[in-house]
Amino acid sequence: MSAAFQLREAGDAALLLQLERVISPDVNARVIAIADAMRSQHLPGVRDVVSTFHSVAVYFDPVRSDASALRMALRDVASTAPPVVAGRRHDIPVTYGGEFGPDLAEVAAHSGLTAAAVIDRHTGPDYRVFMLGFQPGFAYMGLVDEVIAMPRRASPRAHVSAGAVGIAGRQTGVYPAASPGGWQIIGCAMEPVFTPGASEPVRFVPGDTVRFHAVPPAGAPVAKANQRLRGSRPAADANASRTMTVLRPGLFTTIQTGGRWGRQGLGYPVSGPMDPFSHASANLAVGNDRGSSALEVTVAGPELRVDQDTVVAVAGADLSPTLDGDRVPLQRPLRCPAGSVLRFGERVTGARAYVAFDGGIVPGDSWPVSPLVPGQVLALGEAAAHAQRPIRMIANVPIGGARLRVLAGPEDDILPTALDALISTRFIVSPAANRMGYRLKGAVPVPPGAGSMISAATFLGALQIPPSGEPILLMADRQTTGGYPQVATVISADLPMAGQLAPGDWIEFEICSQAEAQAALIEQEGMLNDEA
């Protein structure tokens, strides 16, 4: 007989199958098996299937997918108890203490043991890889011996080196790349666990078993050999027939494709445009596929020179674009002769504009994404094969604020009073707003001791409620997992409007139905199929 489960909606583009909220090898083995079984069905429109400690998240395209059929398939798989497949085994050498493990002494003091005894306790058990998240290749492993279990640091470090081995509660893990972090660092792995660009960049996957063993320092450790991971900036191919040169990069201008689906289970964020409608509009206007690489311009725009004849379109925020001094109309293809310069000026509406070039930017998909720099030369692809056409405008660029429609859940049961407070409060986007998410000013009451949970999958447009009560609206670069309840999720049709908000803008939320969310998205998709 299969264990009980709950099936929850996560907005209009994801489902969450929830088992018992515990960290248990048996529960985790079951969710991994369910996730594997769902992936093997190759159902139309499914973008990603992710297993966590105790749940399975299924992300889908709400236009291409039959949501009812997906719910039925997920229920069937969960009810039939698919077979559990054993994972791989890994043996990881670790140098403990000293410069490699600055918190080892503190963990020893906390546990009442010597440093050597802490190392013995840490190297003693086999650890299960429960899930990946936080960053690509970061494996949440357990269970750590209760004696050496220690809470996260009260104040996270701004920089933790690649290879650092840490403890957080009864979890342990290896930082795959340099990043901020709050785990107690007791050592450094002497072998890499994440190799960007490799055919299999991530060493661990859910269900694997890891054993650590202590080794003395030898050679250049991973922590020093691996510098902070930086995004690879696309460089112009020497044989490229067309290029574009960045004269000035603007405040924060990046290259964005339609998003990186299929790798959330390995810790990769989906990323993609903050305003997917405007990104698609700019691409379709110049004849590209809607997900082709284009520039996302934030608030203060760049200065760009097209080096050969090119067709350009600008969509989204009105940041006063001009071509050689003449105003550029939005969402219209514009032929630019070689040497033309595209500039941006005063912000009129919105926060993000999208600039598409016929043929797109190549290469267009790198991780992590880095902003453009002065003098950077980008290669453009072959002129687009599809017809160029203007796209009909929609009112997705707010002025001063926006009222966004949400669906309840998937974790509103954890904070049952939060949803009512969420939809009855006007919030302000705080300065702590970026592509990962917006922290909102205006608190939701959270009972003492509530507002946190075992880390689980996150969803685009979800509203997390941390213990402070100040909601966080998760956006394009969100981490794939998080430890705060997601009590509501912005519907897909309103995500473009959310992506155009800036610090100081207001947000209000209102509940809608699944049917209303689907109808709104179908209407929006129709806009992309109609010429202006």
Nearest alpha carbon to residue 25 among 51, 60, 59, 53: 53
DSSP notation for 46-68: EEEEEE-SSEEEEEE-TTTS-HH
> Are residues 360 and 334 in contact, defined by beta-carbon separation less than 8 angstroms?
no
pLDDT in tens, 437-482: 999 999 888 888 777 788 899 999 999 998 889 999 999 999 999 8
pLDDT in tens, 297-310: 999 999 999 999 99
pLDDT in tens, 361-372: 997 666 677 899
| Amino acid 351: pLDDT | 95
Least confident of 170-179, 236-245, 400-409: 236-245
Work out the angle at residue 372's Cα, subtended by the Cα atoms of residues 371 and 373, and round it to the nearest 5 degrees: 120
pLDDT at 81 over 80: no
Nearest alpha carbon to residue 367 among 271, 460, 273: 271
Q: In this predicted model, which residue has the larger pLDDT, 396 or 336?
A: 336
Q: In this predicted model, which residue has the larger pLDDT, 527 or 68?
A: 68
pLDDT at 219 over 70: no
> Are residues 111 and 147 in contact, defined by beta-carbon separation less than 8 angstroms?
yes
Q: What is the CATH number of domain 242-380?
A: 2.60.120
Beta bridge partners of 184: 167
State the average pLDDT for the chain: 90
In this structure, the chain runs to a length of 532
| Amino acid 227: pLDDT | 40
DSSP label of 264: G
Q: Report the 3 state secondary structure along 183-242.
A: CEEEEEECCCCECCCCCCCECCCCCCEEEEEECCCCCCCHHHHCCCCCCCCCCCCCCCCE
> Are residues 137 and 193 in contact, defined by beta-carbon separation less than 8 angstroms?
yes
Q: How many CB atoms lie within 10 A of CB 433?
A: 20
Q: How many CB atoms lie within 10 A of CB 150?
A: 23
DSSP notation for 359-395: T-EES---SS-----TT-EEEE-SPPSSPP--B---S
Superfamily in which the 401-529 domain is placed by CATH? Cyclophilin-like (2.40.100.10)
Q: Measuring CA to CA, how many Å separate 439 from each of 94, 305, 415, 501, 515?
A: 37, 36, 18, 12, 29
pLDDT band at 220 (very low <50, low <70, confident <90, very high): very low
pLDDT in tens, 83-127: 888 899 999 999 999 999 999 999 999 999 999 999 999 999 999
| Amino acid 1: pLDDT | 34
DSSP label of 103: T
pLDDT at 232 over 90: no
pLDDT band at 60 (very low <50, low <70, confident <90, very high): very high
DSSP notation for 421-487: HHTT--EEEEEEE-SSEEEEESPPP--TT-S--S-EE--TTEEE--TT---EEE-TT--SEESS-EE
What is the third-level CATH fold of 89-225? Cyclophilin (2.40.100)
> Are residues 116 and 104 in contact, defined by beta-carbon separation less than 8 angstroms?
no
| Amino acid 176: pLDDT | 95
pLDDT band at 526 (very low <50, low <70, confident <90, very high): confident
Nearest alpha carbon to residue 48 among 260, 206, 262: 262
Element (H, E) at 281: helix 276-285
pLDDT band at 394 (very low <50, low <70, confident <90, very high): low
Q: Measuring CA to CA, how many Å separate 153 from each of 168, 252, 467?
A: 8, 31, 17
| Amino acid 231: pLDDT | 47
pLDDT band at 225 (very low <50, low <70, confident <90, very high): very low
* Cα(351)–Cα(163) distance, integer angstroms: 37
pLDDT at 150 over 60: yes
Q: How many CB atoms lie within 10 A of CB 220?
A: 10
Indicate the domain borders of the chain.
6-79, 89-225, 242-380, 401-529
| Amino acid 364: pLDDT | 64
Instruction: Pull the structure tokens for residue 446.
Output: 């959270």
Least confident of 98-107, 217-226, 260-269, 406-415: 217-226
Cis peptide before 302 (omega within 30 of 0): no
Rounded average pLDDT over 139-162: 92
* Cα(528)–Cα(532) distance, integer angstroms: 10
Class for domain 6-79, per CATH?
Answer: alpha beta
Instruction: Pull the structure tokens for residue 191.
Output: 């072998």
Rounded average pLDDT over 319-332: 94
Q: How many CB atoms lie within 10 A of CB 192?
A: 19
pLDDT in tens, 39-56: 999 999 999 999 999 999
Rounded average pLDDT over 421-425: 94
User: CATH topology of 89-225 equal to that of 401-529?
Assistant: yes
pLDDT band at 223 (very low <50, low <70, confident <90, very high): very low
